[in-house]
Amino acid sequence: MDTSEHTLSTLFAQLGLDNEPAAIERFIQEHKLPAGTALAKAAFWNPAQASFLQEAWRADSDWVDVIDELNKLLH
């Protein structure tokens, strides 16, 4: 069982993205999603990233709160 704290920083690391605070802020500013676009369906994810986001959400995993936070920030 994964007992690590899930934060935006750890989510970005899990997705293989730069997880430094400035890089996260820049990513959020550069990747806004229109209303009605599901986070996992965004064109900027590679297939592995999209799959992780979708499966973690569907499974209501430990990642769901931080994925929801990212979703809100990108919308």
CATH number, domain with residue 67:
1.10.10.1130
Task: Confirm if 4 and 10 have CB atoms less than 8 A apart.
Answer: yes
Is residue 24, in this structure, part of any structural domain at all?
yes
Distance CA 34, CA 12 (A): 21
DSSP structure class, residue 15: T
Range of the domain at 55: 8-74
Amino acid at 38: A
Is residue 3, in this structure, part of any structural domain at all?
no
- For every one of its 75 residues, what pLDDT tens digit does the chain have, with 9 covering 90 and above? 456 789 999 999 999 999 999 999 999 999 999 999 999 999 999 999 999 999 999 998 999 999 999 999 999
Is residue 2, in this structure, part of any structural domain at all?
no
Strand ranges (DSSP E) for the chain? none
Q: In total, how many domains does the chain have?
A: 1
Task: Confirm if 44 and 16 have CB atoms less than 8 A apart.
Answer: no
Its pTM stands at 0.90
Is residue 26, in this structure, part of any structural domain at all?
yes
